[in-house]
Structure 1
Amino acid sequence: MVLQSEIVNALSYATSKGYQIHPDAFAMLKGLETDVLKAVQEIIKQKKQTKMIVVDDVKNVVNPGRQEALAPVEQIAKVLVDPTPNVNTGEGVDGYALLFKSRFEKTMRILAQRPDSKRMTKISTVKQMGKGSTGPRPAGAAGERSLANAGTYVVSGLLMSRRTKKNGIELEVDDYTGRLQVTAASEDAKKQAANLALDQVVMLELENAKGVQGLAIKNVFSPDIPDHLPNKSRSEAYAVLISDLHVGSKYFMQQEFLRFLDWLASGDDDDVVRKIKFLCIGGDLIDGIGIFPNQDKELLMMNAAAQMAHTAKLLSKIPKHIKTFIIPGNHDPGRRALPQPIFPEATSGGLYNLENCTMLGNPAYIELNGVKVLMFHGQSLDDVIATTPGMSYQRPAEAMKVLLKARHLSPTYGGRTPVAPESEDMMVMTEVPDIFHAGHVHVTDVDSYRGTLVVNSGAWQAQTKFQQTMGITPSPGIAIVVNLATLQPFKQDFNLLL
């Protein structure tokens, strides 16, 4: 990480040459492990048109297609965040009040990094000023003079509701001082409003507009992740991402999974396998008991203990040199409400005896050879897909992007995803991941968003009757392999081709 003095020198140089640095580009420069002044000098040397240094300028200079000689293969793993030690469920209304207070405050610290946040004012102040008010502003209210000059208002709060009306989409936002109903009337504003997750924190730029009762939305600002250069491994080490085994189900694809385990053990016989150093398993190891009505008709093993024991036996086949990280899902033993602590050892079936396996809660951040990986089972994708236009189970990466934009892993309260009333909201994405790994929906999908590799790693369970009724076509029996030196993913298919 660069020193403050280096940043100051780089900024001074850019200013002296008549250039400005976009906030996203500035954030990227601050995170570089390189000579920032030289980078800025090179950018200015190359620029031929605008006087604004943007993210693409930084990328072109820092990573211009050249790759340094890779260091010898390393295997360094760290657990950055595990919710387990901090799980301390509150109770009832008071517990949820603390949860949403924490969500608001943590996300506001993220939003505070945006330039527009300097113009932010309280909802109560906007309501006191009234639509189109030109009279004196209340003394002490933040940003009244700039708001009066700009003709716009900037507020932030939790998105309490979203309703489609004749004249647009009506949003209701709530901060500590009150609630405000505003309307997205323009096509651009309606598109932005439709893609917000309910109960996320959002910042809105508002204005008086013709034909709109009350204030109209001019711009929508989600907390979002910044466009960034991801961390990469110095050596060409690989990580394998899988999830949703559902051991115990009649539909568990044991033969395909055994084929996968045999592949991991093939060692020197395979160029890829030789470089695999890490395995991440994103929950739902077993099918569980009593998870949904009439589940017993789809089970081969009628108790969770037997399912867990069989899972441990299978995972014991993973070569000992591959460091394996496991989080729970909604079908696994233990608490189902988010965040989930680690598997209870008493009902783990022997998982804790596997020396190369590390049990973590859901969600969890780990670092693999310097690459930050966010592991999340993905229960909340059900709510995102159900409430966001254009989303479907066949493209889960798009729904995962909604969570990245909201900077929250389970924003919607009262939907399909149970959320515990914790005093701290541990689902806020305070860290920006290099890889965002989820499962749950049983469909393999890979994409990238603003420098983050987005991976849904599918499943090892064939299509169930419930999925048939829902029109969900799973893509099971596939592992996602990521080269940590380049963050390039590829699929390894273990289904037999007929």
Structure 2
Amino acid sequence: MKDKKEIIKFFLDKSILISKQIIEKLAENDVDLNQFYENIKNKIDSDSFLILDQHLEEFLVSTRKDINWKEYDKSVVLAKKGNDKLYDKFTEYMNGNEEEKPIGNKDVKIIFSYDEESKKREVQDFVYLFNKRFDSIEKILKNRVELQNLLSIKRIKQKQDKDNLSLIAIVGDKKITKNGNIILTVEDRTDSINVLINKNKPDLFKLARDIVADEIIGVVGVNGENIVFANNVVWPEIPSNKEIKNADEEVFALFLSDLHVGSDNFLEENMQKFLKWIKGEVGSEKQKEIAKKTKYIFIVGDLVDGCGIYPGQEEELVINDIYKQYDECAKYLKEIPSNINLIVCPGNHDAMRIAEPQPQLYQDFAKSLWELPNIHMVSNPSMVNIHSSDNFSGFDVLLYHGFSFDYYVANVDGIRMNGGYDRADLIMKFLLKRRHLAPTHTSTLYVPDANQDNLVIDKIPDFFVTGHIHKSSVSSYKNITLICGSCWQSKTPFQEKVGHHPEPCRVPIVNLKTRDMKIMRF
């Protein structure tokens, strides 16, 4: 048993006061104090005098060493007030059961769907979020073989001699110098430094032009005085050796988006054509066979046009009641055969917060949709697994409506100058390369979750499915199938004004056995 005075002195030397219960627990368990401190030091507020209370007793028996103890403390307070949902999640995590257990039926398993309750957010939550994001992306980058002799920025600035080195950092700023070179200001947890990308390295310079604020990159180069001269920039990226999966049987998945039911531009006649086809009533024999073998339909946000989304919208609605809009939407979806799984996530026009992650569609607004027997509600973004069996792991599908797309079309030269809104594939590849759905702080509204950044693309999907830009697209990137859904709304006055050219009523279809893709027009 450790001496209690020794324990008290150890923590006082580190400006930490611990409770009597913890002193007794540490002494009783003969805990290695140095190891214990190493495990908690990054999770405590080192700039203030912290009191470690009885909650750290849970730390001693927990198999997890990355608990956010401030959030845990809040969860205990909420539990005492009768709201124990967050506390239960912490308990499950500390007991080693942190893996998301897929839920759903045999055909559709929900791997991730955001369901945190709304609560007050503080400035410090943004700090926690960016630290979590940095941890996640840094872990990916450390697997890149290009990043040799990896150093922190603080150590780089302390070096006296020039050397080949690499760093991992978040981009704070990007400027073009008078000589036409690119200067990045980057930072890690230790310091910040400038990185120069010379225009005389044309291939690297072209890639660097598309670097955006707040993304996390690796830099390979040579150090100078408070600067690094870049020879290469490394992104988290998708591994090139990703397996391409194929189902054993011929089944099909369909992808819809942006129905905008309730708008006076909603294309009801075209929707009826689609519904007749999926029921096997119209089409060629081959098309009827596809409809018969369709097992999954994804709807990636904006099921309704909403109310009060923008000034003057009421003039462009035929249904100006949000409840009735969802009822009308449910009326259409109810016609889809019940043996077909409907996987639905929200978008920016749906009746909920725009800040991402958006939770599932609210039951009070969309009750009629929730009552459909074949529907699976998920958040935006979310990850689902479809068509798994005892002998097949199934397909992982990442759903993201795509609200951040507008920012990257406007601000990334490689997208804007090569088709912009007409090239959903370029936007999706851009985000996959950065392993984040909205890397720039201002590219979307978001909820600063202190425990994790839910927009990080941690698990590599088999399908990446989006919508929002009202133009269908199918492509492939490193064995990931990229699909952007079309829309069911004709060109609006706003789209006319800004020069958008939607292509409505086109349905991307994937054969899960062959992975062949096609688009049907209705």
TM-score category (smaller protein): 0.7 to 0.9
Task: Output the CA distance in 2 between the equivalents of 1:396 and 1:408.
Answer: 16
2:173 counterpart of 1:161: yes
1:92 pairs with one of 81, 99, 122: 122
Counterpart AA for 1:342: Q
Q: Does the aligned pair in 2 maintain the 1:443–1:475 contact within 8 Å? A: yes
Query: Which entry has the higher C-alpha Rg, 1 or 2?
Result: 2
Task: Output the CA distance in 2 between the equivalents of 1:233 and 1:364.
Answer: 22
2:308 counterpart of 1:290: yes
Task: Output the CA distance in 1 between the equivalents of 2:313 and 2:348.
Answer: 14
1:235 pairs with one of 244, 249, 252: 249
Q: What corresponds to 1:55 in structure 2? A: none
Instruction: Give the deviation of 1:87 after TM superposition.
Output: 5.6
Counterpart AA for 1:263: W
Instruction: Give the deviation of 1:290 after TM superposition.
Output: 1.5
1:383 pairs with one of 390, 395, 407: 407
Task: Output the CA distance in 1 between the equivalents of 2:289 and 2:520.
Answer: 13
Q: What corresponds to 1:347 in structure 2? A: 365
2:448 counterpart of 1:421: yes
Instruction: Give the deviation of 1:477 after TM superposition.
Output: 0.6
1:191 pairs with one of 200, 206, 209: 206
Counterpart AA for 2:397: V
Map residues 326-341 of structure 1 onto 2, 5 A cutoff. 326-341=344-359
Moved more, 339-348 or 163-172: 163-172
Moved more, 398-407 or 268-277: 268-277
Instruction: Give the deviation of 1:77 after TM superposition.
Output: 2.2
Instruction: Give the deviation of 1:208 after TM superposition.
Output: 5.1
Say which structure, 1 or 2, has more relative contact order (CA 8 Å, 6+ apart): 1
Relative distance call for 1:361 and 1:231 in structure 2 (3 A) is same
Task: Output the CA distance in 1 between the equivalents of 2:261 and 2:413.
Answer: 34
Map residues 88-167 of structure 1 onto 2, 5 A cutoff. 91-129=121-159, 133-134=160-161, 151-166=163-178, 167=180
Moved more, 268-277 or 455-464: 268-277
Task: Output the CA distance in 1 between the equivalents of 2:311 and 2:118.
Answer: 30
2:477 counterpart of 1:449: yes
Counterpart AA for 1:371: F
Deviations 1:204-244 (A, max 9, x none): 112258xx993222111110111222222111110001100
Q: Does the aligned pair in 2 maintain the 1:397–1:454 contact within 8 Å? A: yes
Q: What corresponds to 2:263 in structure 1? A: 249
Counterpart AA for 1:168: N
Task: Output the CA distance in 2 between the equivalents of 1:102 and 1:359.
Answer: 27
Deviations 1:117-138 (A, max 9, x none): 4522111111222xxx32xxxx
Map residues 195-206 of structure 1 onto 2, 5 A cutoff. 195-206=210-221
Q: Does the aligned pair in 2 maintain the 1:87–1:341 contact within 8 Å? A: no
2:397 pairs with one of 357, 373, 376: 373
Moved more, 458-467 or 237-246: 458-467
Task: Output the CA distance in 1 between the equivalents of 2:122 and 2:202.
Answer: 40
Q: Does the aligned pair in 1 maintain the 2:214–2:440 contact within 8 Å? A: yes
Moved more, 245-254 or 320-329: 245-254
Instruction: Give the deviation of 1:196 after TM superposition.
Output: 2.8
Deviations 1:236-286 (A, max 9, x none): 110001100011111111111111111111179611111100000000001
Give the secondary-structure state (helix, strand or coil) at the position aligned to 1:124. helix
Give the secondary-structure state (helix, strand or coil) at the position aligned to 2:326. helix
Give the secondary-structure state (helix, strand or coil) at the position aligned to 1:229. coil
2:279 pairs with one of 256, 265, 269: 265
Counterpart AA for 1:388: V
Moved more, 192-201 or 460-469: 192-201
Counterpart AA for 2:195: V
Give the secondary-structure state (helix, strand or coil) at the position aligned to 1:351. helix
Gaps of 5+ in 2: 1-104, 388-393
Instruction: Give the deviation of 1:164 after TM superposition.
Output: 2.4
Counterpart AA for 2:250: E
2:299 pairs with one of 278, 281, 296: 281
Give the secondary-structure state (helix, strand or coil) at the position aligned to 2:109. strand
Give the secondary-structure state (helix, strand or coil) at the position aligned to 2:422. coil
Task: Output the CA distance in 2 between the equivalents of 1:464 and 1:107.
Answer: 39
Task: Output the CA distance in 2 between the equivalents of 1:236 and 1:123.
Answer: 53
Task: Output the CA distance in 2 between the equivalents of 1:116 and 1:107.
Answer: 15
Number of equivalences: 399
2:460 counterpart of 1:432: yes
TM-score by length of 2: 0.73
Counterpart AA for 1:238: F
Instruction: Give the deviation of 1:312 after TM superposition.
Output: 1.1
Map residues 9-158 of structure 1 onto 2, 5 A cutoff. 76-84=107-115, 86=116, 91-129=121-159, 133-134=160-161, 151-158=163-170
Q: What corresponds to 1:220 in structure 2? A: 233
Task: Output the CA distance in 1 between the equivalents of 2:194 and 2:505.
Answer: 47
Task: Output the CA distance in 2 between the equivalents of 1:465 and 1:200.
Answer: 34
2:200 counterpart of 1:176: no
Counterpart AA for 2:446: V
Moved more, 167-176 or 442-451: 167-176
Q: Percent identity?
A: 32
Q: What corresponds to 1:364 in structure 2? A: 382
Counterpart AA for 2:168: S
Relative distance call for 1:267 and 1:357 in structure 2 (3 A) is farther
Instruction: Give the deviation of 1:88 after TM superposition.
Output: 5.5
Q: What corresponds to 2:323 in structure 1? A: 305
